[in-house]
Structure 1
């Protein structure tokens, strides 16, 4: 069995993320549990807590798959003598798996049952994905099949997410350290809330905009096992890539 073009993998990761976020917010608001919830707040009470676990467990499964395919694509597009490039890709591949571990912890432990474990898992997931996206977006300039404009969009989305997450971290830090209380907390609550959702959505853009490169990958399942290879583009209209 051969599957030509694996663009559906990063697209599935991105669409599942956005759909899951939408459903969690709707369920939390409709149930009356919280009308302005942070993402972690949507996993506190049932029934949205069940959906929260499912959404992030699926992401923890799809994430390593996307990281592996990205790793294979980058290696195929590199030169054999580029040892430093290969080492960087191996490091990023490990980061992808660490992110998956953090996402799993985030899904299992809610902010109510174990707030420390939940925040550590969420931090690993958010920060790790942001770092991974920035690094890959920069490296894709020399390996991607995408247009220059698409590379610019990926890098802008990745860098923008970093800035937003820093602002979010500063805002949350001021709340937990009680540096911002009372009216100050009420004023900055909404901007911090919006920054979290914008940051989460920004993390998905890199994967959604990677579909053009994943289209060039082919997965073959045979008795010898599973093989992923790169099919080069061709100008022959009778045999399109």
Structure 2
């Protein structure tokens, strides 16, 4: 296994292309305003708007970290513009592409999911800002297995289900409050429904979800084998 395996997010791609499209569009818009009659200014306004959107997309892409994942011999680091989390290989219980039931079929989500062994070891290595962002961005996951309104006595189950308590106590007795507790409660809820604690969108990867899952499994296996060999020696 390499010392560091770097995974580049798809979101980071084509930054220069987006900038060029935006600049070319603005140039064409300027020419349109100077050449066409006022009755056709709507074309120039459309080009200007589209160009500004392209430049905005380029700016969003530019703000993303150069690499979304760093895989070392001891841990995984996930990087996001709002922060990062770190997870030791030894703390991973299972990794796979999550699936949900739709009718009689199982549908794979375009995500990679990880089930961890210890919440405490993980919570201490997640940026608070990233926790907040994940709580907001991953709300749609709750809708995958949300309780039916028909089985809800109050009729407020959906809105109540989106809220997380700000107190959490793990199996070892460690207590958490605030954003850490809310994040831990969300992981607990997702584990109960989908079987996993951490979810990463496929757009954060440089390959398919299944290929990334296989990479993580291979890396973890090599790390565990290497650790076992060191202990024997």
Do they fold alike, i.e. is TM over 0.5? no
Give the TM-score of the pair, scaled to structure 1: 0.24
Q: Give 1 or 2: higher strand fraction.
A: 2
Whose RCO is larger (CA < 8 A, sep 6+)? 1
Q: Give 1 or 2: higher helix fraction.
A: 1
| Structure with larger Rg | 2
